[in-house]
Structure 1
Amino acid sequence: MSARRHGLRLLLLWVAFAAVHALIAVMGWIYPSQPMGDVVLVYEPWSTAALTGGPIVGVTETWVYPQLALLPMLATKILSAPFVAAFGVSAAYLVAWAVLVTALDVVAFAFLLGRRPAAPRRIAAWFWVGALLLLGPIAMYRIDAITVPVAIIGGLWLSRRPAVAAALLAIGAWIKIWPGALLVAALVAARARMRMLLTTVAVTAVIVAVLLLLGADAEIFGFLTEQTGRGLQIEAVAATPFLWLATAGAARIEYSFDILTFQIAAPGADAVAAVLTPLMAVIALVLTVVGARKAMRGASVPRLFPPLALSLVVTLIVLNKVGSPQFQSWLIVPALLWLVMDRARATAPAVLVLALCALTCLVYPLNYDALLRAEALPIVILTVRNAVLVVLLAVGIRALLRVPATDTSTNRE
């Protein structure tokens, strides 16, 4: 490939990347159901309280998120200050949030492409652009958007800088739990697992020590205990049958003011919600054991890490009591890393992730009001979306089971 042609391809990628970020930022303002609502209605008040002597979530009171999630919220509040006079508090905070997310994505995109990216990295870059476009503003206006670029860089550095990769994934997990699934997969698949484990422990120890110095104690792991009392959210995979019951009046959709979300109220819904988290833990453990056995027998990192990471992340979604639309952004990372590491086997998972992004946007925000009224069309779309999630989990597990493993003891003989 000539240098000029290569440069044009890179330029086109960067232009598309910038254009999609600008587009989804604007979509947040014009789409129905206020997809950027969490940023101004929740993140901004939390950060204002912390900076003005009020309660500090995760430190002085129990919080639904890990404590490092507050840092990008505080950074956004500081970045928005010069624009408040011109735009007002809410608009300035939204603009600053979009700028912060875009800046982090630019850093990760630069790590992905480098100066002369090979074909797998260019394909992965186009996949990321497409996924953002299809998922829409929910890919930007949630705290999950902060963790995606952090996790991408961590995954890309898994082989070259394993300790840095572990540190980034651990930090990501202290912002939103899901990067912990990638960290588990990395600890299983990577050769430098002991170095990565020690780095993870060190990062966690430093974070906990700082929190203790700030006055937190029982609040430190409040993000785990806060989830125990949650009901079955309407978009969760397990809520699908109850949504169909709601169309016949046999179930209700109710708003929980405690956790600010819509949940199912129906006989059996609480029992289903109660069993999901233990089942999630069991399946995640089984997948980890399967991956560990493959690693012990000599499976390579490019073959083992992607399907294990994807399977663990999808498990966190399929067996979750919560089905928030931004969860689909988690899937972008393992699918992208699979395209980089093992493109030949990544096509089907990547296509399924793109389909999930599109279907999710059709549900939220485009048809969310109709979903709350238990109308048939959004329930059909959501049913298909949730079925595709189950298919993606099956595809990931199948790929994990098919990872070739060489018995290292045989090689030594």
Structure 2
Amino acid sequence: MSRASTLRTTALWSAFAAVHVWIAVAGWMFPSQPMGDVVLVYEPWSSAALSGGPVVGITETWVYPQLALVPMLIAKMLSTPLIAVLDASQAYLVAWAVLVTVLDAIAFAVLLGRRPVPQRRVAGWFWTAALLMLGPIAMYRIDAITVPVAVLGGLWLVGRPALAAVLLTVGAWIKIWPGALLLAAVVAVRSRMRVLLTATAVTAGIILVLWALGADSEIFGFLTEQTGRGLQIEAVAATPFLWLAVSGAARIEYSFDILTFQISAPGADAVSAVLTPLMVVLVLIVAAIGGLKAMRGASFARLFPPLALTLVAALIVVNKVGSPQFQTWLIAPVILWFVWDRARANVPAVVVLALCALTCLVYPLNYDALLRAEVLPVVMLTARNLLLIVALVVGLRAVVRVPAHRSSSPRE
């Protein structure tokens, strides 16, 4: 590696590390407790599981897939030595930040490789910038665990498809969204049967282990738990109702059952009820379009990145929940887009960076004002939600425009 290349790589690693330190610290400094879920929810869940209490996903129905508990337990064990100098909550926060940083660093190292090529360095800078703009919410949620898992899975889809399928399946059993990348892989990659069979085997193994541990109806509780949710205030579909709240014609109410703020207004429940079926239909349509492209010979490098981004964007746009950490889901497809098809990744990258910045402005920086239905944060959230639709359209347009031809290499 030349001296110039070494300096560029060192600068990139330094920026990546510095951003992680900053967002870790910002979680303690920013308003609205962006690290709150970690200490108020994750730590009690892991403590209860380790102390003989209820085990979420096993002895009681849980909002997350069961493997989400694993990183929470790891963070709890990592926090034990820190309790000598910090209280339990602070120790858990530090351990969580360290865990996320280590996982990100592993995926970042694989992304760059020993001799980083330009497109991988650009992908690294994009990842760094996205974390900086999104802020502490990019670290202090369970979604942060799945981003490096999804990046690794995407990077290995061509060379190590079985391992990639394992990672993406495990990621989906932590937080559902990596399943969108798995679906895109089954559609776009040539070794789709190996990917599909591996994912099926891993899922069967997880279900068998959960059943052996005592889970029964709780195994798929993370799916049924979503059906009772109302329309969260940050969801794309909630945007018109938020403007009604500004005028006093709708209310923002807190749900103690699922610990989130929801819209209360005529028609809100009807909109909420239709969103999940609409999401399923949209995902199937996008996958079908991708499938037609694949059948006509579209290359993996051209088809997979936009298909992955479109499927992930569909999960966000047509969702009754609009949590700020959902923006982390969009980071992995764009990183992979830079790696596989650098020339066409710029527009989606700019859109996702803007989404990250707007999301941070809304939460945590102006969230209290949003809960009061003040105009400025509602304008910012409206812009964010419109940009999510733009991301969906940009991805879908790219999928439609993928040329259909037979290629001799997955990178063609």
Aligned equivalents of 1:294, 1:155: Cα separation in 2: 19
How far apart, CA to CA, are the structure 1 residues paired with 2:234 and 2:146?
Answer: 22
Deviations 1:321-362 (A, max 9, x none): 000000000000001100111011111000000000000000
Structure 1 residues 407 and 155: alpha-carbon distance in aligned structure 2, compared to 1, 3 A threshold: closer
Inter-partner Cα distance in structure 1 for 2:158 and 2:195: 11
1:347 and 2:346 matched: yes
Question: SS of the counterpart of 2:227?
Answer: coil
Paired amino acid for 2:380: I
Aligned residue number for residue 125 of structure 2:
126
Partner of 1:95: 94
What one-letter code is carried by the residue in structure 1 that aligns with 2:368? D
Q: Structure 2-normalised TM-score? A: 0.98
**1:215 alignment partner in structure 2:** 214
Q: CA RMSD in A?
A: 0.8
Which residue of structure 2 lines up, in the alignment, with residue 63 of structure 1? 62
Q: How many Å separate the matches in 1 of 2:185 and 2:191?
A: 9
**How far apart, in 1, do the equivalents of 2:153 and 2:224 lie?**
27
TM normalised by structure 1 equals 0.98
User: Which residue matches 2:81?
Assistant: 82
> Which residue pairs with 1:27 in the alignment?
26
Asked if residue 167 in structure 1 is aligned to residue 166 in structure 2, the reply is yes
| 1:248 aligned partner, one-letter code | S
Distance 1:398 1:73 in 2: 38
Deviation at 1:86, TM superposition (A): 1.1
Match of 1:14 in 2: 13
Q: What is the SS of the residue equivalent to 1:289? A: helix
Aligned to 2:333: 334
Q: CA deviation at 1:406?
A: 2.5
> Partner amino acid for 1:4?
R
Q: Distance in 1 between matches of 2:406 and 2:204?
A: 36
Which structure 1 residue ranges, 5 or more long, are not aligned?
409-413
Tell me, what secondary structure is at the counterpart of 1:110? helix
Which whole-Å deviations, capped at 9, do the CAs of 1:141-178 have from their partners, x for residues lacking one? 00000000000000000110011111100000000000
Aligned to 1:73: 72
Counterpart Cα distance in 2 of 1:208 and 1:303: 34
The CA distance in 2 between the partners of 1:5 and 1:406, in whole Å, is 38
User: Which residue does 1:411 correspond to in 2?
Assistant: none
Partner of 2:365: helix, strand, or coil?
coil
Cα separation, 1, equivalents of 2:368 and 2:262: 14
Per-residue CA deviation, residues 5-48 of structure 1 (Å, 9 max, x unaligned), is: 11101100010000000000000000000000000000000000
Percent identity over the alignment is: 74
Match of 2:383 in 1: 384
Where does residue 293 of structure 1 map in the other structure? 292
Q: Deviations over 1:47-87 (max 9, x none)?
A: 00000000000000000000000000000000000111211
One-letter code of the match for 1:229? G
| Alpha-carbon distance between aligned partners in 1 of 2:374 and 2:68, rounded to the nearest angstrom | 35
Whether contact under 8 Å (2:82, 2:91) holds in the other structure is yes
* 2:268 counterpart of 1:266: no
Map 1:208-287 → 2, pairs under 5 A:
208-287=207-286
- Residue 407 of structure 1: CA displacement? 7.0
Cα distance in 2 for partners of 1:50, 1:122 equals 41
- 4+ runs deviating over 6 angstroms: none
Match of 2:316 in 1: 317
1:189 partner letter: A
Structure 2: 5+ residue stretches without partners: 408-412
In the TM superposition, what whole-angstrom CA distance separates every residue of 1:256-308 from its partner, at most 9, and x where no partner exists?
00000000000000000011111111010001011111111110000000111
Q: Is 1:117 aligned to 2:109, yes or no?
A: no
Give the partner amino acid of 1:321.
K
Checking the alignment, whether the CA contact within 8 Å between 2:299 and 2:406 is kept in structure 1 is no
**Contact 2:187 2:287 (C-alpha < 8 Å) held by counterparts:** yes
